[in-house]
């Protein structure tokens, strides 16, 4: 399984990914799902992957080969949307070539090219893509449901980069707790708008102080939050129809 997400903010972009994959015979593989591309001062792109590992690795390998051998590549395309179209094409070709019918495989591609605003795209197996909105400034791939409520409660495009990254960490932690097939190391990347530099990239292992501390603090805070909630109203304070 996999959980990856990306958030588009006024201040920049946040990317997060887990590193756990279960192979078809049940083996647990640990492998990074965050891949960075770019030229400092010109463009930065981050790719997150979910689904069939053979397909995603073949796609990433093709993107890297194209950097050397094709005029059309992640260093030459002039928009993030154009890069997502190109990725969608490579993805579709790879699936067709290997007869991959797994529809859970998909990618998130985000970044900034030149003076365009930073953007994030989710690329589907059909080769098409969607982007974020003001109302839903994030995209998720893989095991997305467990970690969605905290994103829905806290994120909007005006959220600060660091705060959004903490929100992403909570979302990741909730997912790892509820599905053991999503697991550390957690990779986190904070890209500051208009920097056109690789950004702050962290790799948090299972025993990372920060991962443990954020989990401990969040649980303690939630516990305290929980205890201040109003008690369930006594019968009669609300309508209480009997079936």
**Nearest-approach distance from CB 56 to a copy of itself, in angstroms:** 13
The reply on whether position 163 binds a copy of itself by CB under 8 A is yes
The structure tokens listed for 101 are 């019918």
Among 26, 69, 99, 233, binds a copy of itself (CB under 8 A): 233
Q: Side by side, which strands form the sheet with 186-192?
A: 138-142, 3-9, 12-17, 186-192, 200-204
123 near 198, Cβ under 8 Å? no
The reply on whether position 242 binds a copy of itself by CB under 8 A is yes
Beta carbons within 8 Å of 225's beta carbon, 6+ residues apart: none
- How far is it, in rounded angstroms, from Cα 124 to Cα 139? 12
The reply on whether position 101 binds a copy of itself by CB under 8 A is no
The reply on whether position 152 binds a copy of itself by CB under 8 A is yes
Binding segment for a copy of itself (CB under 8 A), chosen from 51-59, 67-75, 99-107, 213-221, is: 213-221
The structure tokens listed for 103 are 């529809």
The reply on whether position 167 binds a copy of itself by CB under 8 A is yes
Binding segment for a copy of itself (CB under 8 A), chosen from 74-82, 87-95, 104-112, 233-241, is: 233-241
The reply on whether position 181 binds a copy of itself by CB under 8 A is no
**Nearest-approach distance from CB 98 to a copy of itself, in angstroms:** 23
- How far is it, in rounded angstroms, from Cα 232 to Cα 108? 42
- How far is it, in rounded angstroms, from Cα 16 to Cα 204? 11
Instruction: Report which DSSP code applies to 130.
Output: E
Beta carbons within 8 Å of 241's beta carbon, 6+ residues apart: none
| Residue closer to a copy of itself, measured from CB, 59 or 188 | 188
The reply on whether position 134 binds a copy of itself by CB under 8 A is no
The reply on whether position 240 binds a copy of itself by CB under 8 A is yes
The reply on whether position 195 binds a copy of itself by CB under 8 A is no
Residue spans of alpha helices (H) in the chain:
53-69, 80-98, 148-154, 161-178, 209-227
The reply on whether position 210 binds a copy of itself by CB under 8 A is yes
Residues that bind a copy of itself (CB under 8 A): 32, 34-36, 145-150, 152-154, 162-163, 165-167, 169-170, 174-175, 177-178, 188, 190, 198, 200-205, 208, 210, 213-214, 217-219, 221-235, 237-243
């Amino acid at each position: 399984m996999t959980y990856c997400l990306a958030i588009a903010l006024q201040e920049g972009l946040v990317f997060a990914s887990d590193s756990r994959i279960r192979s078809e015979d049940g083996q647990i593989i640990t492998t990074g799902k965050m891949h960075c591309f770019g030229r400092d001062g010109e463009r930065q792109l981050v790719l997150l992957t979910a689904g069939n590992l053979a397909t995603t690795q073949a796609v990433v390998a093709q993107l890297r080969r194209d950097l050397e051998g094709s005029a059309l590549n992640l260093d030459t395309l002039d928009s993030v949307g154009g890069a997502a179209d190109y990725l969608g094409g490579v993805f579709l070709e790879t699936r067709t070539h290997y007869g991959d019918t797994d529809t859970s495989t998909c990618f998130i591609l985000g970044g900034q090219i030149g003076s365009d605003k930073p953007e994030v795209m989710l690329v589907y197996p059909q080769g098409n893509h969607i982007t974020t909105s003001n109302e839903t400034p994030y995209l998720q791939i893989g095991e997305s449901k467990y970690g969605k409520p905290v994103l829905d409660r806290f994120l909007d495009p005006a959220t600060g980069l660091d705060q959004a990254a903490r929100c992403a960490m909570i979302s990741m932690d909730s997912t790892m707790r509820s599905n053991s097939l999503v697991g550390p190391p957690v990779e986190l990347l904070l890209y500051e708008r208009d920097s056109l530099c690789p950004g702050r990239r962290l790799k948090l292992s299972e025993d990372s102080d920060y991962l443990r501390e954020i989990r401990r603090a969040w649980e303690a805070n939630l516990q305290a939050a929980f205890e201040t909630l109003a008690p369930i109203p006594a019968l009669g304070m609300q309508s209480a129809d009997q079936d």
